[in-house]
Amino acid sequence: MTGSADRGASTGRPERGAEGGDRRAGGEGTGDRRAVVAKRVDAGDADLTEITRLAEAAGYEVVGGLTQTRTEDAAFMFGEGKVAELRDLVRERDAGCVVIDNDVGPYQTFNIGGKLPEGVEVIDRFTLILEIFGQRANTRKAQLQVELAELRYELPRAEAKASLAKRDERPGFMGLGEYDESVERDIKRQISEIRDELESIAEKEQARREQRRDSGFDLVALAGYTNAGKSTLMRQLAAELDVDENEDRHPDLARTAESEDMLFTTLGTTTRRAEMEKRDVLLTDTVGFIADLPHWLVESFESTLDSVYRADLVLLVVDASEPVPEMREKLVTSHDTLYERNEAPIVTVFNKVDRLDPGELADKRAALSGLAPDPVAVSARTGAGVAELRDRVEDELPEWERERLMLPVSDDAMSLVSWIHDHAHVDEETYAEDQVTLAFEAKPSIVSRARSKAAELVPASST
């Protein structure tokens, strides 16, 4: 279990999966990381693209795939004949793991595992996502969020084991071993402890955000599905790194943000000073959205999403190279996530336009105008459209105030002039005899502080 060692040790709960084992550490042999992916859908054709990429992001080598279109089988998820095909494919490809792109119940997991060769592990979609999160959690906050998600995943399964054990008056559950009721109590206790610690971290981060606003920074957040190109876009917009978002240094905090073609490259938050014409902007990249995440998993990462919810502006990055139906589905889900708590304006960014054929961008703009009425088209890879995006960011941020101050030339006044240069955009700075005139634009809070500082130098120095 990622995070606090004493918490993990206190539960005594078994590892998830048919055969157990710590997946994050990898297998002893190469076969343990060879995976067959599988998916069942009620209707239509099952697509294995995303689950394959997720498995690869977790470090598995995908060596085969299997799909089925039918209603869910209560005992096996798939039909029993399809499970036999899965067994044969696992043997043929010498796979050590089966990754199922469905929410597989513990009973179904056990049944499928019983049909597979001995030692082959069964992992469902959400267990795989938790595994990836665990691999990428390199700060205390990220580790706590992963641990919370794991515990929330485990809790209903622990409750089910307790319920069935009592009903059947037997110590085991579906052959998974003896169940100790104290496990359920320990999980609930740990969830409460982690929530308390995450709340404490969130309070510190909120204080840090307010301090940055008081210093004249506007806060802009990058949101969107994983692999939409958010980290690459941050590299285009960001200046030299000078901000630590986390108390513990995050591995993403290097000279440039990671931009690998891999899901979940960014788990924690990365904050950079963005290069704008006038404003001092801090740009935050955070974990990407992903389809079909259960509510309990989204809630576990709520404190990370606070960087989006509490921003002054959100840039919703969408992969414009995807088909319109996929773009529409992701826009709808993103809006549901963002508008639930976010009050800041949202600007949709159509990224990867360098991959589009002539005329394709206009068609997609028209098809998605209801969800993205005025998107900014960019290519984070080539830099096309980034200048227009900078202009749009400045236009959409809260209005600045204009101010004009006349100050006596003195050491204290020069310190104030320097402070205004650091926190505002100076339009005019002129010197005449023993007086300096300064015209500038800034956030209302900065203008107010500048007036107060000027009043301390000489009464009625503002005109």
CATH number, domain containing residue 354: 3.40.50.300
pLDDT, tens digit, 9 for 90 and up, residues 133-174: 888 777 787 788 888 888 888 887 777 666 655 555 544 444
What's the whole-number mean pLDDT along residues 285-298? 71
Residues 335, 371: Cα–Cα separation, whole Å: 9
Q: What is the pLDDT of residue 281?
A: 86
260-281 in b/e form (b: 16+ CB < 10 A) is: eeebbbbbbbbbbbbebeebbb
Residues 139, 193: Cα–Cα separation, whole Å: 17
What's the whole-number mean pLDDT along residues 285-303? 69
Q: Is residue 177 part of a domain?
A: yes
Q: Is the pLDDT of residue 257 over 80?
A: no
Does residue 189 sit in the same domain as residue 265? Answer: no
Q: Sorting pLDDT into bands at 50, 70 and 90, what band is 370?
A: very high
Q: Is residue 463 part of a domain?
A: no
pLDDT, tens digit, 9 for 90 and up, residues 349-363: 999 999 999 899 999
418 compared with 344, residue with greater pLDDT: 418
Q: What is the pLDDT of residue 81?
A: 94
26 compared with 88, residue with greater pLDDT: 88
Does residue 66 sit in the same domain as residue 113? Answer: yes
Q: Which of 83-87, 288-292, 439-443 has the lowest mean pLDDT?
A: 288-292
Residues 67, 248: Cα–Cα separation, whole Å: 43
Residues whose CB falls within 8 Å of the CB of residue 300, separated by 6 or more in sequence, listed in order? 145, 146, 148, 149, 152
Containing structural domain, residue 193: 140-202
Amino acid at 57: A
Q: What is the pLDDT of residue 22?
A: 39
Does residue 223 sit in the same domain as residue 253? Answer: yes
449 compared with 210, residue with greater pLDDT: 449
Q: What is the pLDDT of residue 83?
A: 96
- Spell out where 116-191 has E strands: 121-124
Amino acid at 37: V
Q: What is the pLDDT of residue 164?
A: 56
CA end-to-end span of the chain, whole Å? 62
Residues 148, 215: Cα–Cα separation, whole Å: 34
Does residue 241 sit in the same domain as residue 365? Answer: yes
Does residue 284 sit in the same domain as residue 149? Answer: no
Residues 396, 256: Cα–Cα separation, whole Å: 26
Q: Which of 136, 154, 175 is the last residue of a domain?
A: 136
Does residue 391 sit in the same domain as residue 406? Answer: no
Does residue 330 sit in the same domain as residue 266? Answer: yes
Does residue 245 sit in the same domain as residue 383? Answer: yes
Q: Which of 130-134, 339-343, 420-424, 426-430 has the lowest mean pLDDT?
A: 339-343
Q: Is residue 311 part of a domain?
A: yes
165 compared with 420, residue with greater pLDDT: 420
Q: What is the pLDDT of residue 160?
A: 67
**CATH for 413:** 3.30.1370
Q: Is residue 72 part of a domain?
A: yes
Does residue 291 sit in the same domain as residue 378? Answer: yes
Residues 150, 130: Cα–Cα separation, whole Å: 7
pTM: 0.63
368 compared with 246, residue with greater pLDDT: 368
Q: Is residue 211 part of a domain?
A: no
453 compared with 368, residue with greater pLDDT: 368
Q: Which of 136, 163, 191 is the last residue of a domain?
A: 136
How many domains is the chain built from?
A: 4
Q: Is the pLDDT of residue 10 over 60?
A: no
Which residues are documented as binding site? Answer: 224-231, 266, 285-288, 351-354, 379-381
pLDDT, tens digit, 9 for 90 and up, residues 27-57: 444 457 899 999 999 999 999 988 998 899 8
Q: What is the pLDDT of residue 80?
A: 93
Q: Sorting pLDDT into bands at 50, 70 and 90, what band is 21?
A: very low
Which residues are documented as binding site for GTP? Answer: 224-231, 285-288, 351-354, 379-381
Which of 443, 456, 460, 459 has the alpha carbon at shortest distance from 415? 456
Does residue 342 sit in the same domain as residue 408? Answer: no
What's the whole-number mean pLDDT along residues 398-405? 84
Which residues are documented as binding site for Mg(2+)? Answer: 231, 266
35-50 in b/e form (b: 16+ CB < 10 A) is: bbbbbbbeeeebebeb
Q: Which of 114, 136, 158 is the last residue of a domain?
A: 136
Which of 372, 228, 333 has the alpha carbon at shortest distance from 288? 228
Q: Tell me the average pLDDT of the chain.
A: 78
pLDDT, tens digit, 9 for 90 and up, residues 68-79: 999 999 999 999
Q: Which of 98-107, 203-212, 250-259 has the lowest mean pLDDT?
A: 250-259
Q: Is the pLDDT of residue 314 over 60?
A: yes
Q: Which of 241-250, 295-304, 328-337 has the lowest mean pLDDT?
A: 241-250
Q: Sorting pLDDT into bands at 50, 70 and 90, what band is 458?
A: low
What's the whole-number mean pLDDT along residues 108-113? 90
Does residue 337 sit in the same domain as residue 453? Answer: no
